[in-house]
Amino acid sequence: MTKVITYGTFDLLHKGHIRLLKRARALGDHLTVCVSTDEFNAEKGKHAYTSYEDRKYILEAIRYVDEVLPEKSWDQKIKDVVDNDIDIFVMGDDWQGKFDFLKDYCEVIYLPRTEGISTSKIKKDLGVPD
């Protein structure tokens, strides 16, 4: 079984998120999604409109997602990859090169983002702070 993992906040879920999850799941047999907790977002200086528990609940309902875990810190990725026997780490290409240190543990793939949509753009359009 090929296991894939990805990370994100997944706030204000949109088409770009679904496309990322669909393409990530197509790379393997099992997709784990690590979702930034509210506390970790605060450390990053971000504020999610939707609570961690609600974002987790929504992601668990998506057919491409097999498991949802909390992302509590930047440095948990190696442990997550090792502990969950991950074969492929996937992120959007806006993170190109940032997670290459994981190549010692698994394959690292950066997928192209969906043009014209992002949570930041939605928040800006609605006048909601990022």
Q: Kindly report the CATH number assigned to the domain that includes residue 43.
A: 3.40.50.620
**123 assigned to active site:** no
| Number of domains, the chain | 1
Q: What range does the domain containing 88 cover? A: 3-126
60-94: buried (b, 16+ CB within 10 Å) or exposed (e) per residue? eebebbbebbebeeeebbeebbeebebbbbbbbee
pLDDT at 25 over 80: yes
Look at 10-24, 52-66, 97-111 and tell me which has the smallest mean pLDDT: 10-24
Catalytic, out of 3, 22, 44, 79: 44
* Cβ–Cβ under 8 Å, residues 93 and 59: no
Q: How far does the chain reach from its first CA to its final CA, in angstroms?
A: 38
pLDDT at 96 over 80: yes
Instruction: Quote helix, strand, coil % in the chain, to nearest 5.
Output: 40, 20, 40
Query: Model confidence over 26-51: pLDDT tens digits?
Result: 999 999 999 999 999 999 998 888 99
Mean pLDDT to the nearest integer, 6-10 = 96
Catalytic, out of 3, 15, 22, 46: 46
Mean pLDDT for all residues in the chain: 92
**46 assigned to active site:** yes
Q: How far apart are CA 106 and CA 82, in angstroms?
A: 9
Looking at residue 125, what is its pLDDT? 65
Q: How far apart are CA 51 and CA 5, in angstroms?
A: 21
pLDDT at 70 over 70: yes
